[in-house]
Structure 1
Amino acid sequence: MNIVEEHKSSLNIFEQHESEVRSYCRSFPTLFTKASGSKMWDEAGKEYIDFFAGAGALNYGHNNPLMKQKLIQYLQNDGVTHSLDMATEAKRQFLLQFNKIILEPRNMNYKVMFPGPTGTNAVESALKLARKVTGRSNVIGFTNAFHGMTLGSLAVTGNKFKRNGAGVSLNDTTSMPFDGYLGAEIDTLDYLKSYLDDSGSGGSLPAAIIVETLQGEGGIFEASIPWLRGLEQICRSNGIMLIVDDVQMGCGRTGTFFSFEQAGIQPDIICLSKSISGFGIPMALTLIRPEIDIWEPGEHNGTFRGHNLAFITATQALEYWKTEDFSNDILKKGMLVNEALNEVVRAYPELEGEVRGKGLMRGIAYKAEGLANEISKLAFASGLIMETSGTDSEVIKMMPPLTIDIADLRKGLTIFKECMHSMVEQMALNK
């Protein structure tokens, strides 16, 4: 059996034994065996530049050496691995450092809840708490939003395909137009205000409004600062809980630790996950204003909410945020990506591309059906891992590790440009 046959055989294992629900392995059809920093390698030794970063769970790169060292040391010393929500030294250190490095410098006062290991756990707990605090059941979400795959999170998600997977009615939610959804000239907050103020709108006062400041899975749609401030004011004026889902955009993806910092808003509840552990270890946080922390002990719990291995790496990850240097570096790299994407759009106007994004969450939206998927396939074959986003996979998305060095970033962008050139040439030949 030659190398190609062996490779196909190893992938057949997943065809035979894993559920049809698998998805990313279809987009990136190889067997990965090693990963470091912003690179991955498959069983044939082929190197890939990673512009995917675990869908945002690896902001600090694969096998970050500082975190890995701390984790190995903790395991060798027989540190507690599983503890539910019992008190441990690992949790104590994380809470102390998170408050000292993240919350206090930003004048933020929040209680930290550990709801479970994933982003949807954070969202579910936020929705449940908002309903408990207000005594109301309805929650407003937005068009193109994505908040998770469990029933409560799906109910405030806009994607029809993902919603249909629920198999049951998704109740007690209302979808409102996100910023720019009705065109640049229309302020969608006017529509929201009318809905809330008009006694004939057919809607009741919601318990909460949940929002992503930058919709990553929905197509890289960014809410403007005035819009976010206006949304906060609407919530304050009506006694509505404001929930910011920062699961993918938090932990520095947009340049600042929280994606909403530039807007200067103070959400009632904040959802964090993905890169909060820093190492790709499952972990999620729900940040709660102290005055609304009205949970009864054990009223919301989960077996894996005390993931001490995640506390160890998460505490080390916070070291990146002790100064402004890391944030400035992210913004610098983000502008480099933005320039490259705009260069591609200008070079191929016939593709009608639109550059979107902020920080190191960037992409190009294309009108032609299937084009973004074809670009992603060609890039993968060329050694660059990129996914698509948008409800119709119309956006080619770039979200490399925040720690990627400039040389690898430029290399990945060069591969992308070369793929675009090849794509356009092939399209011309097929006409």
Structure 2
Amino acid sequence: MRTDTSADRAIFERRESEARSYCRSFDTVFTSASGSEMTDTNGKTYIDFLAGCSSLNYGHNDPDMKAALIEHISRDGIAHGLDMYTDAKAAFLTAFEEKILKPRNMDHKVMMTGPTGTNAVEAALKLARKVTGRTNVIAFTNGFHGMTMGALAATGNSGKRAGGGMPLQGVTRMPYEGSLGEGVDTLAIIEAMLGNDSSGIDAPAAFLLEPVQGEGGLNAASPEWMRGIARIAKEHGALLIVDDIQAGTGRTGTFFSFEEMGIEPDMIPMAKSLSGMGLPFAALLLKPELDIWKPAEHNGTFRGNTHAFVTARVAIEKFWSDDAFQKEIATKSAILSEAMHALAKQIPGAKLKGRGMMQGVDVGSGELADAICAECFRNGLIIETSGADDEVVKVLAALTTPVETFRNGLKILLEAAASQSTTKIAAE
């Protein structure tokens, strides 16, 4: 059993690709994590407000998920089964059906895709085109849907798109709510463009959008706008794909981020915290009538992670059997909102962003946001930025973070913002 937690830092520079990113902001070697805290080789503990970019909504190493996984491995439970039937898959699907789908009057089927969110998006795009016989997909400004070629075509960020190395096609970009400034009715613009036979926009196979744009800067769509998009999609014979990869699994307060918005998505790509414990696991929820795949028409060696089935089942049964956890999220969301208002008051022109436990502040520049996050890290808080220019300081704390720990992390953030905004003003 390995007990030495030292690491030769030079190995990362020598052997790891230049594509590495988060480690550049958090320049230390982590060795352990529990709940909402991570510890490095120096024994320093950090409060984690990144949570695996919302892959750890239930925190690090939840004891019940860990125990179930250890038990599964210890009894030689299936580790890899392609898409064969297993007891672990049956248990997960049963829990998902009983605790998630039925209470929400949803009859979606669950398609196991490759283990990353971008694969679930790819499957949705392929299926939408197969079902409708159309090729064009409507995506939105500031949207982020993944790094494989189809999902990247639907992603707005120019820096991410530049990595494609070839033209990214099959997508028409439309303005997200609020993207053209206050008072601009983007729904009306979209309707006008799609209703004009000379607009040059091909009939869409699908509309693909995030109710809260995580990487795009925590832009949160209103229920009215979401209903408007659903209506327009239906009028034009297009499917509605709601990407709930980052905003879902409780992050915005309910299991799905679109609950209580009055819409019924045709397909829902899911990943990140779906496994409950940070294990790779992605799936596409789709209405039964859309399930026209031929066997293995969209497949992958790692479609369905059996270990993730084990932990996902525990997460569902532990946190979503009643409304207690949802009430806890609401309480912490209110604490977060109060802190974000306080942060915004410290910085002239700052804007509140997001909703639920997916909130942040647009501080006006990537430089200031980076400085705030760097100061937070020096003081024991892991937090990152988002937005087109990394201008949003973004809180993605685990939903299970103890209130005292949560408040301590927010205190570090507010102090860092006060320090760095004062430094910026003095420099000007």
- Give the TM-score band, short-chain normalised: over 0.9
2:172 equivalent in structure 1: 174
CA displacement at 1:59 relative to structure 2: 0.3
2:417 equivalent in structure 1: 420
What does 1:26-425 correspond to in 2, within 5 Å?
A: 26-319=24-317, 320-346=319-345, 348-350=346-348, 352-425=349-422
Q: Distance in 2 between matches of 1:217 and 1:369?
A: 13
CA displacement at 1:218 relative to structure 2: 0.2
| 1:86-110 CA-partner distances (Å, limit 9, x unpaired) | 0000000111110000000000011
- Unmatched tracts of structure 2, length 5 or more: none
- Unmatched tracts of structure 1, length 5 or more: 1-5
Q: Distance in 2 between matches of 1:357 and 1:143?
A: 16
| Partner AA of 2:371 in structure 1 | E
Determine if contact 2:368/2:420 at 8 Å carries over to the other structure.
Answer: no
- RMSD of aligned C-alpha atoms? 1.2
| Partner AA of 1:326 in structure 2 | F
Q: Distance in 1 between matches of 2:221 and 2:337?
A: 18
| 1:41-67 CA-partner distances (Å, limit 9, x unpaired) | 000000100000000100000001010
TM-score (norm 2): 0.97
Determine if contact 2:282/2:304 at 8 Å carries over to the other structure.
Answer: no
Other structure's SS at 1:10 match: coil
CA displacement at 1:403 relative to structure 2: 0.4
CA displacement at 1:421 relative to structure 2: 2.4
CA displacement at 1:417 relative to structure 2: 1.5
Q: Distance in 2 between matches of 1:344 and 1:293?
A: 47
Determine if contact 2:368/2:421 at 8 Å carries over to the other structure.
Answer: no
CA displacement at 1:428 relative to structure 2: 4.7
The share of aligned pairs that are identical, in percent, is 51
| Partner AA of 1:229 in structure 2 | R
| Partner AA of 2:138 in structure 1 | I
Q: Distance in 2 between matches of 1:242 and 1:428?
A: 45
Other structure's SS at 1:367 match: coil
Other structure's SS at 2:134 match: coil
Other structure's SS at 2:8 match: helix
Q: Distance in 1 between matches of 2:298 and 2:365?
A: 45
Q: Distance in 1 between matches of 2:91 and 2:366?
A: 49
Other structure's SS at 1:364 match: strand
CA displacement at 1:429 relative to structure 2: 4.5
Q: How many residues of Structure 1 are paired with residues of Structure 2 in the alignment?
A: 423
| 1:370-395 CA-partner distances (Å, limit 9, x unpaired) | 11011111101110000100011000
| Partner AA of 1:55 in structure 2 | C
| Partner AA of 1:113 in structure 2 | M
Determine if contact 2:32/2:40 at 8 Å carries over to the other structure.
Answer: yes
Q: Which moved more, 1:421-430 or 1:44-53?
A: 421-430
Q: Distance in 2 between matches of 1:349 and 1:374?
A: 13
Q: Which moved more, 1:223-232 or 1:337-346?
A: 337-346
CA displacement at 1:425 relative to structure 2: 3.7
Q: Distance in 2 between matches of 1:41 and 1:159?
A: 33
Taking a change above 3 Å as real, the CA distance of residues 428 and 298 of structure 1, as seen in their structure-2 partners, is: closer
Q: Distance in 2 between matches of 1:264 and 1:368?
A: 35
Other structure's SS at 1:397 match: strand
| 1:220-239 CA-partner distances (Å, limit 9, x unpaired) | 00011000001111111111
What does 1:6-45 correspond to in 2, within 5 Å?
A: 10-45=8-43
| Partner AA of 2:56 in structure 1 | L
| Partner AA of 1:422 in structure 2 | S
Determine if contact 1:98/1:315 at 8 Å carries over to the other structure.
Answer: yes
Q: Distance in 2 between matches of 1:306 and 1:425?
A: 50
| Partner AA of 1:159 in structure 2 | N
| 1:202-260 CA-partner distances (Å, limit 9, x unpaired) | 11101001000000100000011000001111111111010000000110000000000
CA displacement at 1:430 relative to structure 2: 3.4
CA displacement at 1:369 relative to structure 2: 4.3
Q: Distance in 2 between matches of 1:29 and 1:218?
A: 24
Determine if contact 2:365/2:390 at 8 Å carries over to the other structure.
Answer: no
Determine if contact 2:358/2:395 at 8 Å carries over to the other structure.
Answer: yes
Q: Distance in 1 between matches of 2:133 and 2:122?
A: 16
Determine if contact 2:37/2:47 at 8 Å carries over to the other structure.
Answer: yes
Q: Which moved more, 1:352-361 or 1:206-215?
A: 352-361
Taking a change above 3 Å as real, the CA distance of residues 180 and 297 of structure 1, as seen in their structure-2 partners, is: same
TM-score (norm 1): 0.96
Determine if contact 1:86/1:306 at 8 Å carries over to the other structure.
Answer: no
Determine if contact 2:347/2:421 at 8 Å carries over to the other structure.
Answer: no
Determine if contact 2:136/2:171 at 8 Å carries over to the other structure.
Answer: yes
CA displacement at 1:169 relative to structure 2: 0.6
Other structure's SS at 2:240 match: strand
Other structure's SS at 1:286 match: strand
CA displacement at 1:184 relative to structure 2: 2.2
